[in-house]
């Protein structure tokens, strides 16, 4: 006899609902901008520091406070950790920006060489330029985890389903260059010139994937965050004996700087998202597309430069003129 499945109890349903709401609340909180989240933390810490001030005027005032001298040494150590944390995160952001800047440069150079060195129909060169534009858009989607060949403009009816869409477009570029070489539309030297920029696309793809797939060690991030929270939690109990009511604003100011650096580092260490501190990948892709289209629409013939008309200068002999007088 089969046993009927057990129905979830009301308590388990309520527990699951509460857990889901907590996760949604936490997700919505982290989606807020850094100033909003920062002020929530600072105000909470200010409220916490108020308990240390109240303690000084209660029956617990005789309890020995933490020595304030130790905070100076611990603050120096924490500052070194925070500087290293921030620099590491910003280096990731800046490296990603350099790679996308290189993509724009190689796209322009490659399209210019194809336009002037490939002896082929205009439609053939335009088709190659479309691959260059599509590579930028597919790389953006690939780094955000949503790359699909059929979502790229001009490839909505494509039958292929590559897992790495940017690499697929690099392969199409190499295929087109190989066809030009076999059809004697370019020579071997020109093929090497085009290969330089096409290979650079592959290097850019690998560098961006390395940044995305190799985050900062989670153990290091947790260690820095734990040290930061311990320092802020203990700070008001070392200041309230000497500063009294000034303990609250000073603790809030210190936490504002410390937590602000941590939040900024956390935001910029993943540069390929859609938040305000991430790279403007959509704008960079649009810039790349606009540059390529402008290069293709430029006239092939150089404009004629008018020949300057030379002025005839008559030299007058001043001495002969004086003799006439």
Q: Which two tokens stand for residue 278?
A: 């991430």
The residue-averaged pLDDT of 252-280 equals 89
Sign of CA dihedral 30, 33, 38, 39: negative
Decide: 248 and 121 in contact? Cβ < 8 Å: no
pTM: 0.74
Decide: 201 and 170 in contact? Cβ < 8 Å: yes
Of the chain, the percentage scoring pLDDT greater than 90 comes to: 39
The residue-averaged pLDDT of 235-246 equals 76
The residue-averaged pLDDT of 243-262 equals 85
The residue-averaged pLDDT of 280-301 equals 87
Length of the chain: 325
Closest CA to 186 of 133, 292, 113: 113
Closest CA to 170 of 192, 202, 208, 126: 202
- What was the pLDDT predicted at 111? 95
b (16+ CB within 10 A) / e for 15-34: eeeeeeeeeeeeeeeeeeeb
| Mean pLDDT, the chain, integer | 81
CA angle at 44 for the pair 39 and 49, rounded to the nearest 5°: 120
**Model confidence band, residue 289 (pLDDT cutoffs 50, 70, 90):** very high
CA–centroid distance for 18 within its chain: 35
Instruction: Identify which has the larger pLDDT, 203 or 233.
Output: 203
Q: Is the pLDDT of residue 168 over 60?
A: yes
- What was the pLDDT predicted at 15? 47
DSSP symbol at 215 = P
Q: How far apart are CA 100 and CA 197, in angstroms?
A: 14
Instruction: Identify which has the larger pLDDT, 87 or 28.
Output: 87
- What was the pLDDT predicted at 308? 55
Instruction: Identify which has the larger pLDDT, 167 or 158.
Output: 167
Distances (CA, A) of 226 to 77, 221, 230: 13, 9, 6
Give tens-digit pLDDT for 104-154. 999 999 999 999 999 988 899 999 999 999 999 999 999 999 889 999 988
Q: Is the pLDDT of residue 189 over 90?
A: yes
Q: How far apart are CA 233 and CA 49, in angstroms?
A: 8
The residue-averaged pLDDT of 274-299 equals 90
Distances (CA, A) of 317 to 312, 314, 322, 324: 16, 10, 9, 11
- What was the pLDDT predicted at 185? 93
Q: How far apart are CA 68 and CA 89, in angstroms?
A: 31
Give tens-digit pLDDT for 54-82. 766 665 665 656 666 667 778 788 888 88
């Amino acid at each position: 006899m089969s046993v009927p499945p057990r129905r979830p109890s009301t308590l388990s349903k309520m527990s699951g609902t509460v857990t889901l709401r907590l996760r949604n609340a936490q997700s919505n909180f982290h989606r807020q901008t850094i100033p909003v989240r920062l002020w929530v933390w600072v105000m909470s810490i200010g409220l916490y520091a108020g308990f240390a001030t109240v303690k000084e005027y209660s029956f617990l005032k005789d309890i020995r406070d933490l020595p304030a001298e130790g905070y100076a040494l611990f603050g120096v150590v924490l500052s070194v950790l925070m500087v290293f944390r921030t620099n590491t995160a910003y280096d990731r952001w800046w490296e990603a920006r350099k790679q996308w800047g290189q993509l724009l440069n190689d796209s322009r150079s490659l399209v210019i060489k194809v336009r002037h060195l490939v002896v082929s129909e205009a439609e053939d060169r335009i088709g190659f330029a479309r691959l260059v534009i599509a590579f930028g858009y597919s790389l953006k989607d690939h780094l955000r985890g949503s790359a699909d060949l059929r979502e790229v403009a001009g490839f909505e009816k494509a039958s292929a389903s590559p897992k790495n869409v940017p690499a697929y477009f690099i392969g199409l570029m190499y295929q087109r260059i190989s066809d030009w070489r076999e059809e004697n539309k370019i020579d071997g030297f020109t093929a090497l010139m085009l290969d330089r920029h096409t290979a650079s696309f592959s290097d850019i793809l690998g560098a961006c994937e390395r940044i995305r797939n190799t985050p900062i060690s989670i153990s290091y991030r947790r260690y820095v965050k734990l040290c930061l929270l311990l320092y802020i939690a203990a700070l008001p109990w070392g200041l309230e004996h000497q500063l009294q009511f000034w303990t609250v604003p000073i603790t809030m100011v210190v936490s504002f700087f410390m937590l602000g650096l941590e939040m900024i580092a956390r935001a910029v260490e993943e540069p390929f998202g859609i938040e305000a501190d991430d790279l403007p990948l959509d704008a960079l892709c649009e810039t790349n597309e606009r540059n390529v289209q402008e290069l293709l629409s430029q006239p092939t013939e150089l404009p004629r430069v008018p020949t300057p008309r030379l002025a005839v200068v008559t030299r007058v002999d001043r001495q002969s003129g004086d003799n006439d007088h």
